[in-house]
Amino acid sequence: MKLYVKAFSSYRGNLDEFDVKKELKQTYKRDTRRQDSFIHLALYGALQLKEKIDVKIDDELYVTSGVGNIDVIQKSNISVNENKDYLKPFDFINMLGNTTSYHVANALGMKGKNIFQISNNFTFINTLISIYASLSISKKEAIFGSVDLATNPQSLIKRVLGLSEDVNVLSAANYQKLSLDKSNAIASIEFDTKIHSLEEVQKTLNESKVNVIFSPKDNIFETMSNYYINAAIDSKEDLLYIDRCGDKYKIIKVLILI
């Protein structure tokens, strides 16, 4: 399967050092009321993409995440279970993944297909497969965003992801405009549904003539593959990205077209 990238945007960093809410207000003139950090991060990545390419009203929208809006879940748990308070209505609304997709679609002026999708494993590649299948039928184009928020304290997200305390976790929002149409594309992304063994991956690594990235073990967020794809396109270097979950592996190939 192959999708063509028409444009991309990337953010990866520490939100303790970058005020994304302030950036949305000052640079993009967005009303950030009744939204939280996860939604702000998703909006920031989407609006960065909008600066680079026209977004059609009927483009399809897909947003994925490693664990979703875990900050608001933590906040609601403290409010209800520890403080014996009530669940605030907007906290409940913001827990729903489609709330984030709604705000992103609204910011981009989109009224087409709109899906917030999380898979237990390989959520980025699985969403690429969903996009490919949908565009094969609709013949439209898609906006694809992956959003991961590092919780405060980070120990919570590390427990959820099964990471050791010495691993650094980052927040990230990475987007692409994707199409089945090659015209005006800056890169292609190739992928399939196959799960590879370690032996197969090692053989691929030995035979590869392009840059290879094997799931990094620090500065982690669950949809890292999306960031490294965008970084490869930005640097105009072909890439073979090996994604890992336990003893299972998947491969994404990025080819630069400009």
Per-residue HEC secondary structure of 102-145 comes to HHHHHHHCCCCCEEEECCCCCHHHHHHHHHHHHHHHHCCCEEEE
The single-letter code of the amino acid at 230 is N
pLDDT at residue number 89: 62
pLDDT cut 70: percent of the chain above it:
89
Taking the domains of the chain in order of start, what are their residue ranges? 2-187
pLDDT at 88 over 70: no
What would the mean pLDDT of 1-13 be, rounded to a whole number? 97
pLDDT at residue number 73: 61
Higher pLDDT, 107 or 66: 107
pLDDT at 82 over 90: no
The average confidence (pLDDT) of the chain is: 88
What would the mean pLDDT of 195-217 be, rounded to a whole number? 87
Supply the DSSP symbol for 50.
H
Q: Which helix (H) or strand (E) holds 254?
A: strand 248-256
pLDDT at residue number 98: 82
Cα(213)–Cα(219) distance, integer angstroms: 14
Cα(47)–Cα(99) distance, integer angstroms: 17
pLDDT at residue number 97: 67
Is the domain spanning 2-187 CATH 3.40.47.10? The answer is yes
Task: Give the pTM.
Answer: 0.91
Supply the DSSP symbol for 31.
-
Question: How does pLDDT run across 136-164, given as a tens digit for each residue?
Answer: 999 999 999 999 998 777 767 777 777 77
pLDDT at 84 over 90: no
Higher pLDDT, 70 or 48: 48
For 55, 75, 86, 222, 231, the CA distances from 174, given in Å and listed in that order, are 16, 25, 34, 12, 10
